[in-house]
A and B are shown apart, each in its own frame.
Chain A
Amino acid sequence: MQAYTVTITALSPLVASGRGNDQNYAVGSSEQAQQPVLTGSAVRGCVLEALRSVTHKEPFHWLSDWIGTPDHHATDLKFYFSDCLPKSGYSYVFRTRVALDRHTRTVQPGKLISLKAVAPNTEFEGKIFLDSQVQDDHWEEIQTLLESIPLRIGGSQTSGYGRVRISFSREPDTGHFDVKKGLYHILLKLHSPFATAKMGNETTEKRYFNESLPFLSANAFRSQVPVLRATPLYPSDKGFTVAVPRTFFQKKYGEEGKTLNLLRELLFMSGKGVPSLAQTPSGDGSASERLEIASGNMNSKTFLPVSNSPVFSTHVQRCPQTRTVKAFWVQQSYKPPYLSALIHSEDSLSIPKYLVLGGLRGKGYGQVEVESVQPYHEWNRWEAPIQSLTKFMEQYALGSSSDQWYIPILINSSWVPSDSASPVEGCVLTPFRFTSPVQIRWYEPSPDDPNSGMTKVVTGCAAGSVLILQSPKTLSLNQIIMKLKEAKVKGLGKYTHLGCGDFEIYPMEEE
């Protein structure tokens, strides 16, 4: 894909909505992280409308194949717009408007409309990703056309709002990332929110509200890049992200973002049958605080949770003839700063720098830029946690020296056990486990009939589950780690090609 930087300059006040706005105003511009945003969908709508107005003219007949006609929209779009954010500063203008009675031409009582618009001259910047099939000369024609005709975006256009000027500049180097055979950590920077359809509940009559999962599935990546295996794409703070273990707790009503790693406590309780309360002790006389199991994702090195708040966007589909709203829906999506995943390549591979992933790609969702692709090295840190747990088990949970290694496993993506008794060769599952079930569902189209297929529903062990494996000390720690490395590359259990079965060695803290 070829990327261009899009600059949109407001020539008159803008009230482009579509995402959350200031609720104090009847009409307001979309805001994200407390600054105005032009959503990819709004920019796309503005550009398509301008292009559709010229498709009937002789030099632009070919455009109909790209974008369709006013009566028939093309399903296969060739360009994808990202969210546009203020380039530097921005300010708002506030207006109070009145509604007029059409018959008397006088002000209708009580019909005041308060409006919060982005001030003229504000510059917004975003990206447009162009399908590689698009011919350069075609794009140049479109570019010249869009830069030369007046464009309008957002609401209140008939009142003079939403006039914009658009310009494009080609990204100097689209580049790509070459990888050889092996396991890599890929970090993706998000330019627009992503959406993944949630499993089940298809019928809720309330189809206007579409929920999304807080991560992208492995298949979303594999459908764009031919890797052998990928893990789900988790939100990231620019580091390597893992699922928060079910043995990490947080204060139920305390400050967010602080977790306690309680694996040792839970193993001790489980091993010795000693009960305790899920609350912090009140040593200093203050009230003790209740704890709950933490969830979500965290940075594998700092153990700090990665924040991932949902983004809600409103979409409308207008009737091409009457311009009235034909369909309306709210889409839930997520926009963390980065996404992190592991990919396993079997051959040399070139990963494009720009990708569009997940659902609703044509509506401006899922635009990512590959930030880095690094060989996976986390296994260099696996020795210490195994030694630490083995020592702990001998000293506390079992109370005697043992001829076994104890290996703490953190399930990082849903694990569906295979028929074999052991998840890792040479290791046995102990009764010490902190797991929860999850239902995984995917669609497999029929090879004969593209309109029918099977849906597979499987119960597995949810990401964040913690297992303790044991292996006889007749094997050296290096030998164990080699077996674990093999399992890591291959994935645990079944359906690894769908992203299942990724694991990490549990982050044991130093005693």
Chain B
Amino acid sequence: MAETEMMIHAYDVASIKSFIFDSQDFKTIVGASQLVKSFDKHVAELVAMVEGTEVVYTGGGTGLFLVRDQSAQEGLIAAIEKASEILLGHRVVQASIEPKEPVLDLPDWFRLDSVKTCGAFARSFSRLAIELNRKKADFPLHEEEIPSDSMCPSCGKRSKVSGSDRCNVCKEKAQKGEAFFRESSEGKDSLKYTFDLQRIATQRSGGKDSENDKMIGVIYGDGNSLGDIYKSFEDYKDYARFSRELESTIASAVRNALQEGQKGEVHTAAPILGGDDLMLLVPQSRVIPVLQTLKRELGNCSFCKTPITFSFGVAILPVTLPLGFIFSISEELLKSAKKERVKAIQQKRPDAKDHFLSFRYLKGHTFEAKKTKTFPHFQASFDRGMSFQELEKILALESRVANSGFSKNIIQKLWRNLEMDPCTAAINLFYFLHRTKGVDDQWSKDFLEGVYMSEHDWKTICPSKKEIQTRIGTFSELYDLCSGKEV
């Protein structure tokens, strides 16, 4: 078979999110994620044995292969189908395309970007995605009647297996999850993955029943504009190499971030760690140090000419919240961070090339990721994203008043002060801060410009007609996290 007749073949685990998050039990979620990992690995092993095929990449429930021999295609499809047994009957769709490209002219009214500017690999991948999506739309229909007392309490979708408290799928997932955590705890590695969130939350405070024990830090990261890098690939080898390098860089950055400065065993959880995504659950006191190490480690992506940056959704949440909800809050915050980054690029701000994050400290049962308080002249968006430079400036401000007379009481006064016009608010700010022991005028000025009226054009006459963005919400929540101590 000639090279020109080669086929590109792909698979994709359909509704992967629903497969992983069927249950809100952490063990089961991690187990499902491990099953997907095992499936990807198993497919790669099986396909490697099929002659005339080449594995480009498998991971994250997706796989890409080259088929050089048409007769090998059947073997490839059969191998993927066989491996899908690992996924306990969950659907895997497959599609093939010829590398020969169709005419790419788009009509005038077409409002999407053409693939003309993309590399050959990305063009093929787009066509494959269309084929896979078409197959996904043909999902099988299923009807089942289950006696209510036999319903699996973990997923609420299937019938319990006799002698067990769960359905077969949830049982297998939970077993896989347990095995993963057991291997981690029995191994020699000081990094221990656990499904006991309480254990993660309490390890820094020595397990005392304090307020801190009830909260856990969630860091959800994702690479910025990696699509633009993928778009430029001409060759599938570039894609495979890049994906591998990226994954190993992230894995090593995560490991270093979790272990740096820690003595003895570190208990943590990484429910998502694959592709350019990472999600870590850490004690709340470790959130800032972990972020700082991640920033440093992820900035060293030497395998790519274009510097790679990340955005993070970061939340401190009650440890008892359902996991699905924890994920959706951190996902929303990640989106806020990305939005701010896009805004920074559009405004050509100097920090646009930095990593970004959106931070919330959610206590007191206000579980909205997004929160905005509008004053007559000010707007306090708690979830508004910021660059790491801005975060570091705020943390430096917090550190400079650590152990001084600056307290939550002052923050409350400054918060109420925002009801007034900007000039009065600024004068009152200086009045309150001047009376506070340990706060100097330089700090007050930095606070005014960096936090209190953060997006205010100081060249315009005060009060500005525009609504002024204030960061005091974020400052206050970071103050809650640091408890007024030096970071």
Contact = CB atoms under 8 A, between A and B. Distances in A.
A468 to B, nearest CB: 12
Contacts of B415: 24
Given A114-B408, A203-B154, 15 more contacts: A23-B364, A23-B477, A25-B412, A201-B24, A201-B322, A273-B130, A275-B130, A280-B111, A288-B113, A290-B227, A434-B137, A453-B147, A455-B147, A456-B145, A458-B144
Given A275-B115, A310-B368, A199 B142 contact: no
Contact of B155 (A200, A281, A314, A332): A200
4 closest Cβ pairs, A-B complex = A200-B156, A275-B126, A203-B153, A20-B366
Nearest to B151: A455
Interface of A: 20-21, 23-25, 34, 94, 96, 112, 114, 199-204, 206, 208-209, 211, 252-254, 260, 262, 264-265, 268-270, 272-282, 286-291, 309-310, 312, 314, 330, 332, 396, 416-417, 431, 433-437, 439, 441, 443, 452-460, 511
Contact of A276 (B115, B141, B476): B115
A392 to B, nearest CB: 10
Given A94-B416, A206-B321, A209-B322, A396 B342 contact: no
B360 to A, nearest CB: 10
A286 B477 CA distance: 35
B102 interface: yes
B227 A281 contact: no
9 contacts: A24-B412, A114-B408, A204-B23, A206-B24, A268-B107, A274-B103, A276-B110, A277-B112, A455-B151
Contacts of B341: 253
A265 B140 CA distance: 26
B409 A112 contact: yes
Nearest to B14: A437
Given A204-B25, A280-B112, A274 B412 contact: no
A279 to B, nearest CB: 5
A459 B112 contact: no
B148 interface: yes
A276 B412 contact: no
Given A34-B373, A114-B408, A437 B15 contact: yes
A270 B126 contact: no
Contacts of A458: 141-144
Contacts of B335: 252-253
B144 A457 contact: yes
B443 interface: no
Name the residue in B127, B320, B365, B368 with the highest tally of chain A Cβ atoms < 10 Å from its Cβ: B365
Contacts of A21: 364, 366
B111 A201 contact: no
Given A20-B368, A455-B148, A264 B109 contact: yes
Contacts, number: 196
Interface in B216-249: 227, 231
A253 B112 contact: no
A310 B335 CA distance: 18
Contact of A279 (B110, B112, B149): B112
B107 A254 contact: no
A465 to B, nearest CB: 8
Nearest to B149: A452
B144 A312 contact: no
Given A24-B411, A253-B342, A276-B115, A459 B139 contact: yes
B104 interface: yes
A332 B324 CA distance: 14
B146 A272 contact: no
Given A201-B155, A203-B154, A452-B147, A273 B139 contact: no
Contacts of A202: 151, 153, 156
B322 A34 contact: no
A436 B112 CA distance: 22
Interface string B71-112: 000000000000000000000000000000011101101111
Interface in B7-46: 15, 22-25
B388 interface: no
Contact of B325 (A24, A211, A273, A279): A211
B363 interface: yes
B363 A276 contact: no
A107 to B, nearest CB: 15
A276 B114 CA distance: 5
Contact of B126 (A200, A277, A289, A441): A277
A96 B147 contact: no
A252 B112 contact: no
Name the residue in B24, B112, B416 with the highest tally of chain A Cβ atoms < 10 Å from its Cβ: B112
A345 to B, nearest CB: 29
B139 A287 contact: no
B134 interface: yes
A201 B15 contact: no
Contact of A435 (B109, B130, B139, B412): B139
B112 to A, nearest CB: 4
B365 A396 contact: no
A204 B112 CA distance: 43
A416 B156 contact: no
Given A20-B366, A209-B321, A455 B146 contact: yes
A73 to B, nearest CB: 24
A17 to B, nearest CB: 9
B327 interface: no
Given A434-B137, A437-B139, A201 B104 contact: no
Nearest to B416: A94
B301 interface: no
B176 interface: no
Nearest to A458: B143
B476 A23 contact: yes
Contacts of B142: 457-459
B113 A276 contact: yes
B482 interface: no
A393 to B, nearest CB: 14
B194 to A, nearest CB: 16
A327 to B, nearest CB: 14
A434 B127 CA distance: 16
A234 to B, nearest CB: 20
Contact of A455 (B112, B113, B140, B145): B145
A396 B107 CA distance: 9
Contacts of A96: 409
Given A24-B412, A201-B324, A441 B364 contact: no
